[in-house]
Chains A and B, each alone.
Chain A
Amino acid sequence: MARTPEEHDRLDRAFAALADPVRRAIIARLSTGPATVNELAEPFPITVQAVSQHVQVLEQAGLVTRTRQAQRRPVHLDPAALEAVTAWIDTYRLQAERSYRRLDAVLEKLKEEQ
């Protein structure tokens, strides 16, 4: 499949960002819903500052975004960026997604039959 140079750069940055086990764990955690840096830091024996730096790397790689909600700045997975690289991150979501796409096709067929 042909990709533009920009897409390659983005993939390179994403893969580089994901070459670290802590950052992969952060992505896995965020695949279940947004979280603040403090919440992300909880399971790790490292400082909140260190986790914050990991989040910055993920942010620069375009994998996560941060929104402002009052005092909280939750970190979100960026679904668009992940589209390119998540085929292997969140099988649960992919499995659901695949099932529902098949259901879409079944529904299309039913509509045609009506």
Chain B
Amino acid sequence: MSTNPTHITAPVGTPFIEVVREFDAAIGLVFRASTDPDLVSQWLGPRELTMRVVEFDARAGGRYRYVHTASDGAEYAFHGVFHTVTEALIIQTFEFEGAPGSVSLETRTLDDIGGRTRMRQNAVFPSVAARDEALGAGMKHGITDSMDRLAELLGSGAVRQGR
């Protein structure tokens, strides 16, 4: 199974995040995996956390809500409403319940590229600040975390000794 790169573009000073990714599967399967709750729960999520789908009614006007549980018991819940659901186009709202009121609008298109599928997802946040927060929170955490790990690695001598 090959791994296709994920391209993320988030131009400075805009409220947008665009994600483009190709999949080695037909458009019908990608659509199914994106709309069937049993399948969605197997892959969707910001981290390798336990995922619980509370509701996932992928049709125009339907709602979704899912909860990720971290190993320390912390819960991260997300919900939204589907506006448009077709194979080629899904439009939905997205809200992290940890930042209530900051609702982004997601437009996801699927393109058949010769039996494979290109997914393009555009998220529009209510403000540049909200976008930066969504993007930056993870990054800041990642950098801090990584510098800690780097310090440990350098301290242990593992880098030089090639453990």
Contacts and interface: CB of A to CB of B under 8 A. Distances in A.
B10 A32 contact: yes
B25 interface: yes
Contact of B46 (A28, A79, A99): A99
A70 interface: no
Classify chain B's interface size.
Answer: 35 or more
B6 interface: yes
B104 to A, nearest CB: 13
A32 B141 CA distance: 16
A109 to B, nearest CB: 9
A102 interface: yes
Interface stretch (B55-63, B79-87, B89-97, B146-154): B146-154
B24 A106 contact: no
B30 interface: yes
A22 interface: no
A28 B143 CA distance: 9
Contacts of B6: 93, 96-97, 100
Given A2-B162, A95-B47, A101-B3, A89 B135 contact: no
Interface stretch (A7-15, A46-54, A59-67): A7-15
A95 B46 contact: yes
Interface range on chain A (Cβ under 8 Å from partner): 35 or more
Contacts of B159: 8, 11-12, 15
Contacts of B150: 15, 18, 88
Contacts of A89: 139, 142-143, 146
Contacts of A100: 4, 6, 21, 23, 43
23 contacts: A8-B159, A8-B162, A15-B150, A32-B9, A33-B12, A39-B12, A79-B5, A88-B142, A90-B142, A91-B139, A93-B6, A94-B142, A95-B45, A96-B6, A99-B44, A101-B3, A103-B30, A104-B24, A106-B33, A106-B39, A106-B42, A110-B39, A111-B29
Interface of A: 2-3, 5, 8, 11-12, 15, 18, 24, 28-29, 31-33, 35, 39, 79, 87-108, 110-111
